[in-house]
């Protein structure tokens, strides 16, 4: 498969991934928003529970960042949508993320790489951060405490935001907070009260929280 060029306008593409084709969507800021030299790759929640790049939290993260001038890349992990392969408990999905990130860097070497992920996607992007060295990382409801997913060796960047709902019915919010407190370099943390795992009726609040916290990481739009 030929490696696609990075598009000049929003588009859905197919990339040659480690398990076969990977489906991804590149979304640019709206025309009235000055673009910044940043590309954020966003990872979706658990494939076996219906997670995809079209998940509402994932698309809201994309919207929040594009409102600030960041170009975003959402993609489907292996076995989801038009992406080939089967679910691999985070191992193969990490390879998928690295393939997408390496493509972004090869196509747009002058742009900073950010990573973001929701739930299972937060786990995958956290695990990949040590190797990929993103300039910033956004983790939404990281699934700390799941026995099959090890968070002990993650190495997030200094620009790291965690957003967690206090009423999360899937992820143990207190377990997340205790884990973050145990870290030598804890992240910026936004605790959202009365908020479920999928941010029902709280998606606009999520957008606002992300924009408020990451704004300080942004370079000047004219650079």
Q: Can you give the pTM of this predicted structure?
A: 0.96
Inside any domain, residue 196: yes
Nearest to 80 by CA among 15, 21, 129, 125: 21
pLDDT at position 24 over 50: yes
Inside any domain, residue 221: no
Express each pLDDT in 96-111 by its tens digit. Answer: 999 999 999 999 999 9
**Cβ distance 104 to 41 under 8 Å?**
yes
Q: What are phi and psi of 191, to 5 degrees?
A: -95, 125
Express each pLDDT in 111-136 by its tens digit. Answer: 999 999 999 999 999 999 999 999 99
Q: Which domain holds residue 171?
A: 11-146+155-214
- Residue-level pLDDT at 152: 87
* Contacts with 45 (C-beta within 8 Å, 6 or more apart), sequence order: 51, 55, 57, 58, 118, 119, 120, 121
Inside any domain, residue 1: no
Express each pLDDT in 34-82 by its tens digit. Answer: 999 999 999 999 999 999 999 999 999 999 999 999 999 999 999 999 9
33 class by beta-carbon count within 10 Å (0-12 exposed, 13-18 middle, 19+ buried): middle
Inside any domain, residue 185: yes
Find the Cα–Cα–Cα–Cα dihedral 132, 159, 77, 38, rounded to 10°.
-80
Nearest to 27 by CA among 40, 44, 45: 40
Inside any domain, residue 5: no
What's the number of domains the chain is made of? 1
- Residue-level pLDDT at 220: 66
CATH of the domain at 75: 3.40.50.1820
The C-alpha angle 190, 183, 203, rounded to 5 degrees, equals 20
Inside any domain, residue 48: yes
- Residue-level pLDDT at 1: 63
Rounded Cα gap, residues 156 and 217, in angstroms: 15
Give mean pLDDT, residues 27-38.
93
- Residue-level pLDDT at 221: 54
Rounded Cα gap, residues 31 and 50, in angstroms: 32
Give mean pLDDT, residues 159-176.
97
Over the chain, what is the mean pLDDT?
95
Express each pLDDT in 170-200 by its tens digit. Answer: 999 999 999 999 999 999 999 999 999 999 9
């Amino acid at each position: 498969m030929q490696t696609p060029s990075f598009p000049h306008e929003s588009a859905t593409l197919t990339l040659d991934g480690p398990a076969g084709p990977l489906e991804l969507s590149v979304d640019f800021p709206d025309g009235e928003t000055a673009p910044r030299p940043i590309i954020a790759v966003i990872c979706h929640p658990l494939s076996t529970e219906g997670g995809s790049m079209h998940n509402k939290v994932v698309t809201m993260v994309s919207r929040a960042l594009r409102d600030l001038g960041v170009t975003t890349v959402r993609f489907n992990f292996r076995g989801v949508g038009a992406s080939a392969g089967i679910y691999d408990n985070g191992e193969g999905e990490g390879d998928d993320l690295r393939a997408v990130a390496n493509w972004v860097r090869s196509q747009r070497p002058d742009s900073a790489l950010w990573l973001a992920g929701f739930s299972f996607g937060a786990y995958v992007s956290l695990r990949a951060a040590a190797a990929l060295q993103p300039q910033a990382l956004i983790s939404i409801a990281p699934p700390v405490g799941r026995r099959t997913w090890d968070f002990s060796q993650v190495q997030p960047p200094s620009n790291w935001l965690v957003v967690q709902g206090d009423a999360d019915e899937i992820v143990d919010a207190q377990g997340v907070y205790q884990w973050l407190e145990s870290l030598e370099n804890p992240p910026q943390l936004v605790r959202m009260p009365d908020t479920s795992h999928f941010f029902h009726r709280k998606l606009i609040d999520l957008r606002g929280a992300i924009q408020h916290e990451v704004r300080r990481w942004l370079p000047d739009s004219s650079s």
